A and B are shown apart, each in its own frame.
Chain A
Amino acid sequence: MEITMTLNGRAVTDHIDADLLLIDFLRAHGCYSVKRGCETSGCGLCTVIMDGRPILSCSILAARAAGHSVQTLEGLQEEASEFVGFIADQGADQCGFCNPGFVMNTIALLRENPNPTDDEIREYLAGNLCRCSGYDGQLRGIRAYLDSRQG
């Protein structure tokens, strides 16, 4: 089948199998930031933003995204650059494999709630697993960014 979606601001048209998952469509179109960490919608690594809302791209067919706007980290470099340096300063990037999904969900969080409390951050990002960092460093990084904006 042929689908068209807006991917990172540009119209993309492709012939796809009806059972193609969005994650595989995105990776096939050069969005390598989108990672697969499980097959059970349980790790958050493949988080992308569709029509402004964070979704798991492993749990939606590419066909379902037809006619919609999908953003991956490739398309949100500037927005991400505003805060990821603070996470780097904590050393919390670690292996990095969970970073794109967690950064995308953080972007979604900050759009929804520009001044979240620590508990709100934990809650919002609870579906983003990380096996390296123990999570606190990621939180400290986001907190440092939020504090820098206030300061």
Chain B
Amino acid sequence: MEHKDYKSINKPVRKKDAMQLLLGKPVYTDDLTPAHALVVKILRSPHANAIIEQINTAAAKKVPGVVDIYTWEDVPSVRFAIAGQTYPEPSPYDRLILDRHVRFVGDAAAIIAAETEKAALKAMRLIKVKYQVLEPVLDFRKAKDNPVLVHPEEDWFPPCEVGGDNRRNLVASEENEDGDVEQVLADCDIVLDRTYHTKAFNQAMMETFRTYTELDRYGRLHVISSTQIVFHCRRILSRALGIPKSRIRVEKPRIGGGFGAKQTAVCEVYPAFVTLKTGRPAKLIYTREESQTAGSPRHEMEIRIRLGANRDGTIRCLDFYTLSNTGAYGEHGPTTVGLSGHKAIPLYTGGLEAYRFRYDVVYTNLQASGAYRGYGATQGIYALETIVNELAESIGMDPTVIRDKNMVREGMRMPAYYNEIANACALDRCMEHCKRIFGWEEKYPVRDMGNGRVRAAGVAMAMQGSCISNVDVGSATVKLSEDGTYNLLIGAADMGTGCDTILAQMVAECMDCSVDDVAVFGADTDASPYDSGSYASSTTYITGKAVEKACAELKQRICSIGAQMLGCGVEEVTFEGDRVSREQSGQSVSLTEIAYKAQVNNTQAAQATATHSSPVSPPPYMVGMVEIELDKNTGLVTILDYMAVVDCGIPINPALARIQTEGGIVQGIGHTLTEDVRYDHRGRPIGSSFMQYKLPTRLDMGTLRVEFEHSYEPTGPFGAKSIGEIVINTPAPAITHAIYRATGVWYRELPITPEKIVIPPKEEDRAEGRKES
């Protein structure tokens, strides 16, 4: 492992925007909108599947303050996708701005533009819609080849071939394998066959979806949106609205959280349409209810695994079938599902002789899913880590030992991970380290505390990627200013993660200056160099490398201008941070002198832009361990300790990496224990407000402890991999494991609420009656 003494890398630098945020400065979308902006509201369908037969807006338009109301008859008839993905998107083009066919409870039926929110809401109540109500497809297990089609339209269009067919309610379908699964399974001592179910959890970022739009000084559409994907957003708007990209500028201010939700252009198109129609500034601020019911949550998945092993705990075969529910529209459907296998199975590369991974992604008449931190890997890892725990418990083997026996290790080739080599992998050290700080030997045995309370522990491992290999593009522009400070321009989006800061740390390291001397700007389609956007855990790894390359190029240019000033060749000078020196003569010129020279009679730019993409996506790894106290009388699960050790390569900023980990763990705790997604028999969401969709509070997460095991990823900037997504993956399987230890019941559906613990669902196998096929 390479270890260098860095000045700015691997340091807990304060976030560049920290004091602005902590002191409540107006830096978010709705803080920047003018008071005269039109308020945009969406009338939403009360039916899960219906055709709008008539829509009468006459009375609504008469409400004082209402500027206009738009229906399906007013919008372009070109289908598009709102998934923030590189073109051509794997997501099907299955949306119109407003469609006559509404496909879930909450689907847009009309757009209202008014001078005030009050007028808009009053108008909403006066719009008369006659629906032809159709039978909905609500059970995703019955969606494939269902006679009811969610997308019967002729102009449904997949830009990529991903095995989808709208005549079968199928968004994507694939099968791949390595080795002969059936043959290996037949030869195994033990075959476990289990099915796990996870729900469409909400990101629930504190700032709901929101967008402001206006015409700028050139009459172009200027979009200020809380988005992770400014460039994709511009492309999506261009197609949806039918205007050239040169007429659109998308920028993001500070973002009040995203977690992938804002990797989909959930609401941008509506106010943009209003501004184009009226010429006036417009804003759309989603309510919490809209965010929860017409947003872009996790894909519900059901994952069946057949695991083949030997009695000594060697895991020889994994056979996955994932059924993913994309809801009413296909955003991120074809891609999230892939991670449920490809970013789970490689964890057990150790003794694996064969794997198979099959999947179907289906449409239903429920809220459309999208991208959520973990992006399918979370669901796959929950299933895989739980079946491995089931195996360990069934053969009486310590679950940490069975993992030591089978886990992927540095240098291994991972067939289920596109044959990539694990160049940097400290998973084994993470396990050893986590066992030690957690006190696994003492906490693993179940302890009866009296009064019906039991303490128990659980464990899980996780992986993720560091980008979308061969796809994601990151760029950075670094400019020298007259006083020797720098500007860093990026198209990646800091959504609270701190990427502005860690990328500035990289500039500071490369240019041998202070982090304070680097000003960061992003992201704006007019001013930023192209970046796919902040998703797929890619910003540190991809944009970071672009920063490194841009700095190297800028250094070269600074040296060239300096050499010219010193009257020598560029090969004779060296860059020394605040100056360029000619060793031979002892002469030097300061950065300030060079910067001023660059502004006079000069043809060499004192700035550089570099772009990066990667053929590999090195996985970060981690181990999480949880200790719970379970009250057998009430079913209440209290998290006592959650400990995690993460291998994200070299953490660029250990403080921010730690907070990422802690935040991800607490989200995972919420999904496992308290956050539920329910619909009634007509597909209407139940309990979507924060009163019922219960996010963990600071009383619900016990004591967190996060530590790191360093590895050095040779293809990453300063040895870094990623951190943002992996951290959400261990709580579900670890807590499920601990609950089994405490109750003897394997819960194979999330969340595991107290009610289910007191009255276990019938289909759950009790430990004593568990079948070992």
In the complex, are the beta carbons of B18 and A97 less than 8 A apart?
A: no
In the complex, are the beta carbons of A39 and B287 less than 8 A apart?
A: yes
Q: CB within 8 A of B662: which of A72, A81, A137?
A: A137
Q: Which residues, 700 to 724 on B, are CB-close (under 8 Å) to A?
A: 701, 703-704
**A80 — nearest CB in chain B belongs to which residue?**
B23
B284 to chain A, nearest CB (A): 14
In the complex, are the beta carbons of B288 and A97 less than 8 A apart?
A: no
A interface SS class: loop
In the complex, are the beta carbons of A42 and B691 less than 8 A apart?
A: yes
In the complex, are the beta carbons of A73 and B23 less than 8 A apart?
A: yes
Q: Determine the chain B residues whose CB is within 8 A of the CB of A32 once the complex forms.
A: 24-26, 31
Q: Determine the chain A residues whose CB is within 8 A of the CB of B258 once the complex forms.
A: 95
Per-residue CB contact flags for chain B residues 653-665 toward chain A (1 = under 8 Å, else 0) read 1011011011111
Q: Determine the chain A residues whose CB is within 8 A of the CB of B703 once the complex forms.
A: 136
Is B570 part of the contact surface with A, judged by Cβ < 8 Å?
Answer: no
In the complex, are the beta carbons of B663 and A100 less than 8 A apart?
A: no
Q: Determine the chain A residues whose CB is within 8 A of the CB of B172 once the complex forms.
A: none
In the complex, are the beta carbons of B22 and A96 less than 8 A apart?
A: yes
Q: Determine the chain B residues whose CB is within 8 A of the CB of A93 once the complex forms.
A: 15, 17-18, 21-22, 496
What is the CA–CA distance of A35 and B29 in the complex, to the nearest angstrom?
A: 12
Is B278 part of the contact surface with A, judged by Cβ < 8 Å?
Answer: no
**B289 — nearest CB in chain A belongs to which residue?**
A39
Q: Determine the chain B residues whose CB is within 8 A of the CB of A72 once the complex forms.
A: 24
Given contacts A43-B206, A131-B206, A134-B701, whether A84 and B19 have CB atoms under 8 Å apart is yes
In the complex, are the beta carbons of B699 and A96 less than 8 A apart?
A: no
Q: CB within 8 A of B206: which of A85, A97, A103, A136?
A: A97
Q: Determine the chain A residues whose CB is within 8 A of the CB of B655 once the complex forms.
A: 89-91
Q: Determine the chain B residues whose CB is within 8 A of the CB of A87 once the complex forms.
A: 18, 22
A128 to chain B, nearest CB (A): 8
In the complex, are the beta carbons of B207 and A129 less than 8 A apart?
A: no
Q: Which residues, 624 to 671 on B, are CB-close (under 8 Å) to A?
A: 653, 655-656, 658-659, 661-667
Q: Count chain B residues whose beta carbon lies closer than 8 angstroms to a beta carbon of A.
A: 59
In the complex, are the beta carbons of A131 and B667 less than 8 A apart?
A: yes
Q: CB within 8 A of B24: which of A74, A88, A135, A136?
A: A74
Per-residue CB contact flags for chain B residues 312-326 toward chain A (1 = under 8 Å, else 0) read 000000000000000
In the complex, are the beta carbons of B288 and A99 less than 8 A apart?
A: no
Is B254 part of the contact surface with A, judged by Cβ < 8 Å?
Answer: yes
Q: Determine the chain A residues whose CB is within 8 A of the CB of B31 once the complex forms.
A: 32
What is the CA–CA distance of A28 and B427 in the complex, to the nearest angstrom?
A: 52
In the complex, are the beta carbons of B21 and A137 less than 8 A apart?
A: no
What is the CA–CA distance of A144 and B20 in the complex, to the nearest angstrom?
A: 20
In the complex, are the beta carbons of B663 and A134 less than 8 A apart?
A: yes
Q: Which residues, 284 to 334 on B, are CB-close (under 8 Å) to A?
A: 287-289
Is A98 part of the contact surface with B, judged by Cβ < 8 Å?
Answer: yes
In the complex, are the beta carbons of A95 and B689 less than 8 A apart?
A: no
Q: Determine the chain A residues whose CB is within 8 A of the CB of B760 once the complex forms.
A: none
Per-residue CB contact flags for chain B residues 254-276 toward chain A (1 = under 8 Å, else 0) read 11111100000000000000000
Q: CB within 8 A of A98: which of B23, B206, B208, B704?
A: B206
In the complex, are the beta carbons of A134 and B289 less than 8 A apart?
A: no
Per-residue CB contact flags for chain A residues 110-134 toward chain B (1 = under 8 Å, else 0) read 0000000000001101111111111
What is the CA–CA distance of A135 and B25 in the complex, to the nearest angstrom?
A: 21
In the complex, are the beta carbons of B698 and A94 less than 8 A apart?
A: no
Name, among B656, B664, B666, B698, the residue most crowded by chain A CB atoms within 10 Å (CB to CB). Answer: B698
Q: Determine the chain A residues whose CB is within 8 A of the CB of B695 once the complex forms.
A: 129, 131
Is B498 part of the contact surface with A, judged by Cβ < 8 Å?
Answer: yes
Is A40 part of the contact surface with B, judged by Cβ < 8 Å?
Answer: yes
Is B451 part of the contact surface with A, judged by Cβ < 8 Å?
Answer: no
Q: Which residues, 8 to 35 on A, are CB-close (under 8 Å) to B?
A: 17, 28, 32-33, 35
B interface SS class: loop
Q: Determine the chain B residues whose CB is within 8 A of the CB of A33 once the complex forms.
A: 23-26
In the complex, are the beta carbons of B207 and A95 less than 8 A apart?
A: yes
Is B697 part of the contact surface with A, judged by Cβ < 8 Å?
Answer: yes
Q: Determine the chain A residues whose CB is within 8 A of the CB of B208 once the complex forms.
A: 37
B96 to chain A, nearest CB (A): 29
Is A63 part of the contact surface with B, judged by Cβ < 8 Å?
Answer: no
A138 to chain B, nearest CB (A): 8
In the complex, are the beta carbons of B22 and A84 less than 8 A apart?
A: yes
In the complex, are the beta carbons of A103 and B24 less than 8 A apart?
A: yes
In the complex, are the beta carbons of B205 and A88 less than 8 A apart?
A: no
A126 to chain B, nearest CB (A): 5
In the complex, are the beta carbons of B659 and A73 less than 8 A apart?
A: no
In the complex, are the beta carbons of B206 and A122 less than 8 A apart?
A: no
Given contacts A93-B22, A96-B22, A129-B206, whether A135 and B254 have CB atoms under 8 Å apart is no
**B664 — nearest CB in chain A belongs to which residue?**
A134
Q: Determine the chain B residues whose CB is within 8 A of the CB of A38 once the complex forms.
A: 288, 689-690
B388 to chain A, nearest CB (A): 26
In the complex, are the beta carbons of B663 and A133 less than 8 A apart?
A: yes
In the complex, are the beta carbons of B495 and A40 less than 8 A apart?
A: no
Given contacts A32-B26, A134-B666, whether A95 and B288 have CB atoms under 8 Å apart is no
Per-residue CB contact flags for chain B residues 16-43 toward chain A (1 = under 8 Å, else 0) read 0111111111111001000100000000
In the complex, are the beta carbons of A91 and B653 less than 8 A apart?
A: yes
Q: Determine the chain B residues whose CB is within 8 A of the CB of A81 once the complex forms.
A: 23
Q: Determine the chain B residues whose CB is within 8 A of the CB of A7 once the complex forms.
A: none
Is B204 part of the contact surface with A, judged by Cβ < 8 Å?
Answer: yes
Is B46 part of the contact surface with A, judged by Cβ < 8 Å?
Answer: no
A130 to chain B, nearest CB (A): 7
In the complex, are the beta carbons of A130 and B206 less than 8 A apart?
A: yes
Given contacts A32-B26, A126-B698, whether A91 and B257 have CB atoms under 8 Å apart is no
What is the CA–CA distance of A126 and B697 in the complex, to the nearest angstrom?
A: 6
Given contacts A38-B689, A131-B204, A134-B704, whether A99 and B21 have CB atoms under 8 Å apart is yes
Q: CB within 8 A of B698: which of A17, A91, A103, A125?
A: A125
Is B65 part of the contact surface with A, judged by Cβ < 8 Å?
Answer: no
In the complex, are the beta carbons of A137 and B658 less than 8 A apart?
A: yes
Q: CB within 8 A of A88: which of B19, B207, B254, B257?
A: B19
Q: Which residues, 187 to 217 on B, are CB-close (under 8 Å) to A?
A: 203-208
A141 to chain B, nearest CB (A): 9
What is the CA–CA distance of A39 and B257 in the complex, to the nearest angstrom?
A: 18
Is A92 part of the contact surface with B, judged by Cβ < 8 Å?
Answer: yes
In the complex, are the beta carbons of A95 and B690 less than 8 A apart?
A: no
Given contacts A97-B206, A125-B698, whether A134 and B19 have CB atoms under 8 Å apart is no
Q: CB within 8 A of A95: which of B23, B255, B289?
A: B255
In the complex, are the beta carbons of B498 and A91 less than 8 A apart?
A: yes
In the complex, are the beta carbons of A39 and B206 less than 8 A apart?
A: no
In the complex, are the beta carbons of B663 and A131 less than 8 A apart?
A: yes
What is the CA–CA distance of A43 and B663 in the complex, to the nearest angstrom?
A: 17
Q: Determine the chain B residues whose CB is within 8 A of the CB of A133 once the complex forms.
A: 659, 662-663
Given contacts A74-B24, A126-B697, whether A95 and B206 have CB atoms under 8 Å apart is yes
Name, among B203, B289, B658, the residue most crowded by chain A CB atoms within 10 Å (CB to CB). Answer: B658
Name, among B28, B258, B496, B653, the residue most crowded by chain A CB atoms within 10 Å (CB to CB). Answer: B496
In the complex, are the beta carbons of A96 and B659 less than 8 A apart?
A: no
In the complex, are the beta carbons of B254 and A132 less than 8 A apart?
A: no
Is A45 part of the contact surface with B, judged by Cβ < 8 Å?
Answer: yes
In the complex, are the beta carbons of A136 and B704 less than 8 A apart?
A: yes
Is B12 part of the contact surface with A, judged by Cβ < 8 Å?
Answer: yes
What is the CA–CA distance of A138 and B256 in the complex, to the nearest angstrom?
A: 17
Is B277 part of the contact surface with A, judged by Cβ < 8 Å?
Answer: no
Per-residue CB contact flags for chain B residues 666-701 toward chain A (1 = under 8 Å, else 0) read 110000000000000000000001110001011101
In the complex, are the beta carbons of B666 and A103 less than 8 A apart?
A: no
A10 to chain B, nearest CB (A): 18
In the complex, are the beta carbons of B18 and A95 less than 8 A apart?
A: no
Q: List 25 A-B contacts (CB under 8 A).
A: A17-B118, A28-B35, A32-B26, A32-B31, A37-B206, A37-B690, A38-B689, A42-B689, A80-B24, A90-B655, A91-B656, A92-B659, A95-B254, A95-B495, A96-B20, A99-B22, A103-B23, A122-B699, A126-B698, A129-B697, A131-B203, A131-B204, A131-B663, A132-B496, A137-B658
Contacts A38-B288, A95-B495 aside, 5 further interface pairs with beta carbons under 8 A come to A37-B208, A42-B690, A93-B18, A134-B662, A134-B663
- Among all A-B residue pairs, the 7 with the closest Cβ atoms: A95-B496, A33-B24, A96-B21, A97-B256, A134-B662, A88-B18, A100-B24
